[in-house]
Amino acid sequence: MADGLQAVIFDWGGTLTPWHTVDLAAQWTAYAGVVHADAPDAAARAAGDLLAAEERAWAACRDVHSSATFDDVLAAAGLSRHEEAASAYREFWDPHTYLDPDVPDLFAGLRERGLRIGVLSNTIWDRAWHEQFFARDGVLHLIDGAVYTSEVPWTKPHPEAFRAAMAAVGVDDPAACVFVGDRPFDDISGARAVGMRAVLVPHSDIPAAQQVPVEVEPDAVVHRLADVLPLVDAWR
Three-state SS across the chain? CCCCCCEEEECCECCCECCCCCCHHHHHHHHHHHHCCCCHHHHHHHHHHHHHHHHHHHHHHHHHCECCCHHHHHHHCCCCCCHHHHHHHHHHHHHHCCCCCCHHHHHHHHHHCCCEEEEEECCCCCHHHHHHHHHHCCCHHHCCEEEEHHHCCECCCCHHHHHHHHHHHCCCCHHHEEEEECCHHHHHHHHHHHCCEEEECCCCCCCHHHCCCCCCCCCEECCCHHHHHHHHHHHC
pLDDT at 138: 97
Residue range 206-228, pLDDT digits in tens: 777 777 777 889 999 999 999 99
pLDDT at 2: 37
Domain boundaries, the chain: 7-18+98-235, 24-95
In whole angstroms, give the CA distance from residue 37 to residue 207: 31
Whether cis (ω within 30° of 0) applies to the bond prior to 230 is: no
pLDDT for 4 beyond 90: no
pLDDT for 28 beyond 70: yes
> Which residues, listed in sequence order, are joined to residue 154 by a DSSP beta bridge?
66
pLDDT at 229: 97
pLDDT at 205: 74
CATH, range 7-18+98-235 = 3.40.50.1000
pLDDT at 5: 95
The percent of residues in the chain predicted with pLDDT above 70, rounded, is 97
Mean pLDDT value of segment 64-88: 97
- Report yes or no: 118 and 145 within 8 Å, Cβ to Cβ: yes
Residue range 29-67, pLDDT digits in tens: 999 999 999 999 999 999 999 999 999 999 999 999 999
pLDDT at 3: 53
Mean pLDDT value of segment 168-187: 96
Mean pLDDT value of segment 136-144: 98
pLDDT for 123 beyond 90: yes
pLDDT at 213: 77
pLDDT for 163 beyond 50: yes
Per the prediction, the chain carries an average pLDDT of: 94
pLDDT at 1: 37
